[in-house]
Amino acid sequence: MAKFYAELDDQLCEFIDRQQIFFTASAPTEGRINLSPKGMDTFRCLNYQQVAYLDLTGSGNETAAHLHQNGRITVMFCSFDQNPLILRLYGHGEVIRPDTPKWLEIWDSGKFTDYPGQRQIIVMNIESVQTSCGFGVPMFEQQQERSVLSDWAAKKGVAGVREYQIQKNQTSIDGLPTHLTQ
């Protein structure tokens, strides 16, 4: 049975900390819905009403475009171990770029791990939390993190990653601006 909460608690934050993968969903007012898997150690509970993740450079930048347009975002975690649980966070997000004072404030908190290719931090203000059983989710064991993205970014270097962002991450697939460079 699904249950709704106004905010996270210690138990749910601990659940989030144990997960190796999470999924983000966002959508423009009109256009394609984006659903993205995220891995690596990039997600943090800032407090019971606010979470954030370090967004790494990738082939698209849909979430940023959608957040700039309407702010809506959903994040989902699901347990793949013996204890089934699905956790969804509903709310509004904000894109924090590295060239802003808010980036320094969040980064200086010491909560995030430094990864090559970091692009922005997505901060989510939680409006609703939902848990559900997850009984239909299969059990899996993680083998290891993939190093492909970090290796790619490290090989490109800071300047190469920035050039890639300028060429590939300026608009969504629906043509919305991401405001990555301003």
In this prediction, residue 123 carries a pLDDT of: 98
| Encoded tokens for 61 | 């930048």
Closest CA to 6 of 165, 126, 106, 144: 126
Q: Are 75 and 124 in contact (CB under 8 A)?
A: yes
Q: Which H or E run includes 25?
A: strand 22-26
User: At residue 33, does pLDDT exceed 80?
Assistant: yes
98-154, pLDDT tens digit by residue? 999 999 999 998 899 999 999 999 999 999 999 999 999 999 999 999 999 999 999
pLDDT, mean over the chain: 95
In this prediction, residue 61 carries a pLDDT of: 96
In this prediction, residue 182 carries a pLDDT of: 65
> What length does the chain have?
182
| Encoded tokens for 76 | 């989902």
| Domains defined for the chain, CATH in brackets | 3-134+145-168 (2.30.110.10)
68-87, pLDDT tens digit by residue? 999 999 999 999 999 999 99
Beta-bridged to residue 89, according to DSSP, are: 75, 129
| Encoded tokens for 56 | 């790494």
44-58, pLDDT tens digit by residue? 999 999 999 999 999
Structure confidence at residue 181 as a pLDDT band (50, 70, 90): confident
pTM of the model: 0.95
Query: CA torsion, points 102, 105, 111, 117, in degrees to nearest 10?
Result: 50
Q: How far from 148 is each of 40, 62, 151, 153, 164, CA to CA, in Å?
A: 11, 21, 5, 9, 16
Structure confidence at residue 1 as a pLDDT band (50, 70, 90): confident
